[in-house]
């Protein structure tokens, strides 16, 4: 373990990975809430689906960001000589 790394870095990265499920639910709920607010403001039902669409897009973006973060960590792990068996 590198002495330059913070003591709880691995635990914090694990917590960040676990928060993905929560962020998906929150994004969807915020999208539905925004859709309901838009529907109430404009009085048109289909505007609700714009909010739902925003929520789904935000959830997909959260998954993509988590994927990129995990991919970066795996690439760093692949460079570690401890795991490189050549």
**Residue 48 belongs to a domain:** yes
**Residue 86 belongs to a domain:** no
**Residue 31 belongs to a domain:** yes
**Residue 4 belongs to a domain:** no
Buried b / exposed e over 43-61, threshold 16 CB at 10 Å, is eeeebbebbeebbeebbee
Task: Please say if the pLDDT value at position 59 is more than 70.
Answer: yes
Task: Give the single-character DSSP code of 24.
Answer: H
* pLDDT band (50, 70, 90) for residue 58: very high
**Residue 12 belongs to a domain:** no
Domain that holds residue 26: 18-78
**Residue 83 belongs to a domain:** no
pLDDT digits (tens, 9 = 90+) for 5-32: 667 777 776 777 678 889 999 999 999 9
Give 47's contacts (C-beta < 8 A, 6+ positions apart): 35, 38, 39
Could you give the number of structural domains in the chain? Answer: 1
Report the distance separating Cα 76 and Cα 1, nearest Å: 13
- In whole numbers, what is the pLDDT of the chain averaged over residues? 85
Average pLDDT over residues 44-63: 96
Q: How far apart are the first and last CA of the chain?
A: 21
């Amino acid at each position: 373990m590198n002495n330059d790394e913070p003591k709880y870095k691995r635990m914090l990265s694990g917590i960040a990975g676990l928060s993905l499920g929560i962020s998906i639910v929150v994004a969807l709920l915020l999208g539905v809430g925004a859709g309901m607010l838009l529907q109430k403001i404009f009085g048109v039902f289909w505007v609700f689906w714009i909010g739902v669409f925003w929520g789904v897009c935000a959830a997909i973006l959260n998954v993509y960001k988590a994927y990129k973060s995990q991919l970066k960590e795996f690439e760093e792990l692949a460079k570690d000589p401890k795991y490189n068996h050549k």
